[in-house]
Chains A and B, each alone.
Chain A
Amino acid sequence: MEKRLANWGNYPAISCDETSFSQEDQIQDFISSHSSVIARGNGRCYGDASLANHSVSTLKYDKVLAFDIENGIFECQSGITLDQILDIIVPHGWFLPVTPGTKFITIGGAVASDVHGKNHHVDGSFSGHIINMDVITGNQETITCSAGIEADLFWATCGGMGLTGIITRVKFGLKKIDTAYIRQKQIKAKNLEDLIRLFEEYKDYTYSMAWIDCLQKGDAFGRGILIVGEHATPQELSEQQRKAPLHLAQKRKLSMPFNLPSFTLNTLTVKAFNWLYYLKNTKREINNVIPYEPFFYPLDAILHWNRGYGKAGFVQYQFVLPLEKKDGLVAILKKISDAGLGSFLAVLKVFGKQDSLISFPMEGYTLALDFPVRKGLFEFLDQLDEIVLQYGGRLYLSKDARMKQEVFWQSYPNAQKFADIIKTYNGKKLFRSIQSDRLLLTQ
């Protein structure tokens, strides 16, 4: 049925057809009767990667197939979301090996975006934890692949934005935990220099990321808060928490019921950050033990927070620059702060080494921030792209809604190899999205 669909940024919004499936023969029937389709999970990528004239929702293909509690191995269909997986595994002392900043994504989406988390510098991205997976490719075969078997298909599917086919089953390894809590440390950094030094100093922590205040100039340019954490041991818990160390109390979620005027969210984040920076962190450093949810998923507590950017939507701009190109980071941050078009807060993280075909991460700095869609924005982002290119960086396809094709082809060193593998498995361009057409991957 024809409906209006947009991903998390509410930009772009298109009118399209969406079908679902709960059994494999249903998806085969659908593919047979359509000339093009893209798989779509929970629609939490920000831009147009999972938008197309025909999309197929995996959300009903959400069965858990196996859970080896002894060895921490989980196997499921692709439409199950991370929050459901956490509910199953955490009480048994296991955690996701890698998780992005929201738990409302599907496992298929996690693979197609090859998601990274606060532990990228230690544990890499999601693809490194996959044991094997099934993909329905362009000739409607279901192929089981892994880093060792059908490796071409595997590596072009991890971070491949659904262009090799529909991911239907994923088997992956979990991380052992003793509690559902995180021992967290928050450290104030007075400027970018200080912040980068802190990242280096605390690089042995499994989890790390920082909030940066994009509006500061002069000595305070790039001031922020570094947040690092480790899974807490039972000894580190309070007496109350220790009673059921692997169980968290259910919390009620707030929801943003409708689109707010676009200035609201910025005002809210300014307030939240200042509160954190000035009041909560009057000391330079704060240490505490908190449930894993607010540590990994602070924004998930407000369902539909994206509506805070208003009806026109927003784009999230996330790039990565090589480690030695710190001046590039300064240049871009300056440009953003001068233009005043972006959100007040940006997230900074240092990636570790990454060895994959088309995944976003590479060793270096990654910065992400939101830009409400308005006149002049895309011209401005094109200018930022230039700088990113100049410093040898690239943009995250899962956030992208507007990058020019030449930027993609110049910034992803394996673009051609990726395109060749797509041709092998998706020669008839059965799997294509607005993004893949825009980037000339399926044109």
Chain B
Amino acid sequence: MPTVLILGAGSDMAVAIAREFAANKYDIQLAARNVASIAPLEQDLRIRYQVQTSSYAFDATDFNSHPAFYNSLSTKPDITIAVFGYLGSQEKGQSDWTEAARILHTNYTGAVSILNAVAEDYAARGTGTIVGISSVAGERGRQSNYLYGSAKAGFTAYLSGLRNRLFHKGVHVVSVQPGFVYTRMTENLKLPPMLTAQPQDVAKDIYKAVKAKKNTIYTKWFWRYIMLIIKSIPEFMFKKLKL
């Protein structure tokens, strides 16, 4: 059976993605900072979907460990999905570099570091799919979360460059741009129900995008158009908005 590696397996989004792929008969490799915490998820996937699972310790901000981590995988995954992210506190990050650095390093530097390792292997073997979960927040900086947004903007650009390069090696890269999603990460935000997806919706969209070899998907789909509008607002007006 084909295998999916899920980087950042502790989140709600990761649980939904793992279940979606397992339901479609993929073996699952789970990687999270705290391995013990994902043991129940491993059991869950095995019992519900009768697939093989394994779990690994992985810290997105421990860059030096990434090549060794990837080399330690018993089976090289057919699909690698980078799910980890850190919303953090914009306000705190404005004055506290530790917080700002954590936002940037988790969402951008860490993602680049691990996906570089994965990309080298896929490029050498001429096969594989890389999925990066970025965010619509990366499409235009807003005062409420531009630290997170700028890290995601960097990640989105990285994925698009990676796709361009790896296309010629037979490796596919999918950029995922979720809008609002109900997860623990967003639990303290007031989200408009009409615009907010459940993690399961996002997981289904990702699975379909991988199967259909899509390049960039928005989830829910209408975020493509919302962002089109947001991106088209002239800067002299945009800077006056409270977004």
Contacts and interface: CB of A to CB of B under 8 A. Distances in A.
Interface of A: 1, 19-23, 25-26, 60, 62-67, 77, 88
B188 A65 contact: no
A399 B125 CA distance: 61
B117 interface: no
B138 interface: no
B44 A1 contact: no
A21 B37 CA distance: 12
A65 B40 contact: yes
A23 B34 CA distance: 11
A29 to B, nearest CB: 12
Contacts of A25: 37
Given A22-B12, A22-B184, A23-B10, A63 B44 contact: yes
Interface of B: 10, 12, 15, 37, 40-41, 43-44, 47-48, 184, 187-190
5 contacts: A19-B187, A63-B44, A65-B44, A77-B40, A88-B48
A186 B188 CA distance: 50
B103 to A, nearest CB: 21
B184 A20 contact: yes
B189 to A, nearest CB: 7
A112 B37 CA distance: 26
If over half of B's interface residues share one DSSP class (helix, strand or loop), that class is named, otherwise mixed; here it is: helix
Contacts of B15: 22, 60
Nearest to A84: B48
Given A1-B187, A23-B10, A88 B47 contact: yes
Which of B15, B47, B187, B189 is most buried by chain A, counting CB atoms within 10 A of its CB?
B47
Contact of A63 (B43, B184, B187, B188): B43
A88 B189 CA distance: 34
Contacts of A63: 40-41, 43-44
B47 A66 contact: yes
A60 B43 contact: no
B48 A1 contact: no
A277 to B, nearest CB: 40
A19 B184 CA distance: 8
Which of A21, A25, A64 is most buried by chain B, counting CB atoms within 10 A of its CB?
A64
A64 B47 contact: yes
Contacts of A65: 40, 43-44
A422 B15 CA distance: 35
Nearest to A74: B47
Contact of B43 (A19, A20, A64): A64
Contacts of B187: 1, 19-20
Contact of A23 (B37, B48, B188, B190): B37
A64 B10 CA distance: 16
B55 to A, nearest CB: 13
B12 A60 contact: yes
Nearest to B189: A1
Nearest to A57: B187
Contacts of B41: 63
B190 A66 contact: no
Contacts of A77: 40
Contact of B190 (A1, A20, A22, A67): A1
A77 to B, nearest CB: 7
A20 B12 CA distance: 10
The 6 closest A-B pairs by CB, nearest first: A63-B44, A63-B40, A64-B47, A64-B44, A67-B47, A23-B37
Given A22-B15, A23-B37, 9 more contacts: A1-B188, A22-B184, A23-B10, A60-B15, A60-B184, A62-B44, A63-B41, A64-B47, A88-B48
Contacts of A26: 184
Contacts of A1: 187-190
A66 B184 contact: no
Contact of A64 (B48, B184, B188, B190): B48
A63 B48 CA distance: 9
A23 B48 CA distance: 19
A21 B10 CA distance: 11
A67 B47 CA distance: 7
Which of A23, A60, A77 is most buried by chain B, counting CB atoms within 10 A of its CB?
A23
A60 B48 CA distance: 16
A25 B40 CA distance: 13
Which of A63, A66, A67 is most buried by chain B, counting CB atoms within 10 A of its CB?
A63
A72 to B, nearest CB: 14
A67 B50 CA distance: 12
Contacts of B12: 22, 60
Contacts of B40: 63, 65, 77
